[in-house]
Structure 1
Amino acid sequence: MNYKIKEENGYHYIDEGKGEILLMLHGLFGALSNWEGVISHFKSNYRIIIPLMPIHDMPIKEAGCEGLTVFIEDFVDFKQLDQFSLIGNSLGGHVALIYTLRHPEKVQRLILTGSSGLFENSMGGSYPKRGNYEYIKERVEYTFYDPKTASKELVDEVFEITNSIPKVMRIIAIAKSAQRNNMAKDIVRINTPTLLIWGLNDTITPPQVGHEFNQLIQGSELQFIDKCCHAPMMERPNEFNAILDKWLQKTKV
């Protein structure tokens, strides 16, 4: 990745560009590099901040949606951020939903892409198997419409994670927390301008999930990207950026 990861007060994060803040949250198997195409497109007009969530090393008792939301609350307070657009993919979208409900005064706009919170088919319906590289490769490829998007570097990274028992324990705890935490009754209270960008071929949070979010979040806008699965900002960065750019301009305060 071409962007410097800053380390401060125990936080690891990217902070690029100047202007209105876009705060981005990655998913369960995500990384800061997931947003590289978005950073390149927006950094000339926006300040982009992406914290690395402590999915693999947070205390096991705190490993869940609640613990991750508290982490983001603390990070926002530490960086003294206010009035920002919050963008979340997969589990990051779930955390973004909880944060927005708790701090509507801080979140100007909410953008969800392949978000959990209503339904998620984690790892294609099964938990990661340790020591089986081909299985992990197949599961990572399942996240994308075009399996070639799952680079060897990405597969190797997930394989390394799944070979660590402490990391796998946290991943399972967080995944189960996300599945238990259905937000259908809560998100009807969201009044923040909301954009939903969904892969038309998403196998993890299928298109129907995008429609459900659209129905439950008042005034939200739903856009689909064809030949795209669970991580549109990685698989179809040009289309993702065009949709987001147009909507940010349209909803500018």
Structure 2
Amino acid sequence: MKQSMILLHGLFGGLSNWEGVIQHFESRYDIHIPLLPIFDYHLQDNLEYLVRFLEQYVQQHGLENAVIIGNSLGGHVAILFTHRHPDKVSRLILTGSSGLHENNNLGSYPKRGNYEYIRERVAYTFYDPAIATDALVSEVFQTTQNRIKCLRIVQTAKSAQRNYVAPVLPEIQTPSLLIWGEEDRIAPPEVAREFHQLLPHATLVMLPACGHAPMMERPEEFNRALEEFLGK
């Protein structure tokens, strides 16, 4: 029976962000990529709603001893879930995670209808702006065209900013891996080093010429670091 691997995307991320990881690990792991319900209507704190969604997802699928990997907001959700359910998580992997400090590069409200602005902001995510393909920019642009989705994005970003995880990190005994871009402008390298300091059993891997989404921008190096960590 394959071990479970849960991949959690960021605020503007999606299932396609994890293609390189899926291709590399799908033969050996039972991979789950839940679509985080960022745009749902609810009365809870937005981040708390996402953590509870993950709790229900794990319960419904009977997942045990899972490897959980989170990028950006997904990393934040993974931290809170692992802290609450250490028995469910065998390994925690964070990449560009929020929870300590993050430069919110979209401002207080995403500019609806301004395609070039969205292109610029998506490119800002990466060290190599060519990673911001027309398809990726169009996907984000379509999301920001919806007023309700824009509101949910802002609410979720603010919820994440309010939720400072430094106090809970020392309590997480799960072996952890931090894979970070040296050119991450959203969660800069000093954030990675602070995570490394606060997590008791953490390994830090810095990838040169790489921005906020290493699994997309440096998939081979990302998978190599992950492979080595999981093989220990």
TM range (shorter): over 0.9
Match of 1:91 among 64, 73, 80: 73
Match of 1:217 among 199, 202, 205: 199
Over the aligned positions, Cα root-mean-square deviation in angstroms equals 1.1
Q: CA deviation at 1:31?
A: 0.1
Partners in 2 of 1:112 and 1:30 — Cα distance? 15
Q: Is 1:44 the counterpart of 2:27 in the alignment?
A: yes
Q: Is 1:163 the counterpart of 2:145 in the alignment?
A: yes
Q: 1:67: which partner in 2?
A: 49
* CA shift digits 1:71-95 (9 cap, x unpaired): 0001111111111111100000000
Q: CA deviation at 1:219?
A: 2.0
Q: 1:20: which partner in 2?
A: 3
1:198–1:225 contact (8 Å) kept in structure 2: yes
Partners in 2 of 1:93 and 1:67 — Cα distance? 15
Structure 2 unaligned runs (5+)?
A: none
Q: Is 1:205 the counterpart of 2:158 in the alignment?
A: no
Q: CA deviation at 1:60?
A: 4.4
Structure 1 unaligned runs (5+)?
A: 1-17
Partners in 1 of 2:26 and 2:212 — Cα distance? 24
* CA shift digits 1:198-246 (9 cap, x unpaired): 0000000000000000000002000000000000000100000000001
Give aligned-pair identity as a percent. 56
2:126–2:210 contact (8 Å) kept in structure 1: yes
Q: 1:14: which partner in 2?
A: none
Q: Which has the higher contact order (CA 8 A, sep 6+)?
A: 2
Q: 1:54: which partner in 2?
A: 37
Q: CA deviation at 1:48?
A: 1.1
SS of the residue corresponding to residue 224 of structure 1 reads strand
Q: Which amino acid is the alignment partner of residue 106 of structure 1?
A: K
SS of the residue corresponding to residue 119 of structure 2 reads helix
Q: CA deviation at 1:59?
A: 1.3
Moved over 6 A (4+): none
TM-score, length-normalised on structure 2? Answer: 0.97
Q: 1:7: which partner in 2?
A: none
1:60–1:170 contact (8 Å) kept in structure 2: no
SS of the residue corresponding to residue 156 of structure 2 reads helix
Partners in 1 of 2:109 and 2:207 — Cα distance? 27
Task: Name the count of aligned residue pairs.
Answer: 232
Distance change (3 Å), C-alpha of 1:60 and 1:122: farther
TM-score, length-normalised on structure 1? Answer: 0.89
Q: Which amino acid is the alignment partner of residue 5 of structure 2?
A: L
SS of the residue corresponding to residue 98 of structure 1 reads helix
Q: Is 1:148 the counterpart of 2:130 in the alignment?
A: yes
Partners in 1 of 2:169 and 2:47 — Cα distance? 15
Q: Which amino acid is the alignment partner of residue 129 of structure 1?
A: K
Between 1:98-107 and 1:59-68, the stretch displaced more is 59-68
Partners in 2 of 1:147 and 1:19 — Cα distance? 37
Q: CA deviation at 1:46?
A: 1.4
Q: CA deviation at 1:173?
A: 0.4
Q: CA deviation at 1:63?
A: 5.6
